[in-house]
Amino acid sequence: MLLTGAAERWDAESEALLMIAARRSHLVATILPALAAGRIVLCDRFADSTEAYQGWGRGLARDRLRELHRFIAGDFAPDLTLILDLPVEIGLARAAARPGAEKRFERLDAEFHQRVRRGFLDIARREPKRCVVIDAGGAIAMTQRAVAAAVAERLGIAIAGDGER
């Protein structure tokens, strides 16, 4: 529902509220039970994405978006956030080359994506203990090594691909 259809299918407020509702559902149904069972949880998007996309990208008040996150998640936050950074043009080209992927956000103009990128980098600047910015503009293997190194350094966990488990 959020990833398909026209780029401007939802106004900014509706889009943000739908994202927040989906996040709450994911938190309650998947993340919190997995953590309670002692599992490690990986997510490809969380509250920072709403701040970056709907706040920075769509122009909604970022403090209000953070309030909504506190409403649905309390003080819950990831232990580590990896921000895979690359120039907008490269990111959009990669997204366009993915077969079968829905591309509603990718249909938005480059300036929208520049604002989103600035948003993620601002979040990383404000929260350096939680966030690590990784240059994802090079070869996949280089990005994978940088991700493994960041996880190992910040969380003390070796991940597949770095020679350990």
CA distance 103 to 110: 14
pTM: predicted TM-score of the whole model, two decimal places = 0.86
Q: What is the pLDDT of residues 49-94, one digit of tens each?
A: 999 999 999 999 999 999 999 999 999 999 999 999 999 999 988 8
Note whether 124 and 132 are within 8 A (CB): yes
For 7-160, where are the E strands, in sequence order? 81-85, 131-135
Q: What is the pLDDT of residues 117-163, one digit of tens each?
A: 999 999 999 999 999 999 999 999 999 999 999 999 999 888 776 44
Looking at residues 24-43, what average pLDDT do you find?
A: 96
Domains and CATH numbers, the chain: 12-155 (3.40.50.300)
Residue 6 pLDDT level (bands cut at 50, 70, 90): low
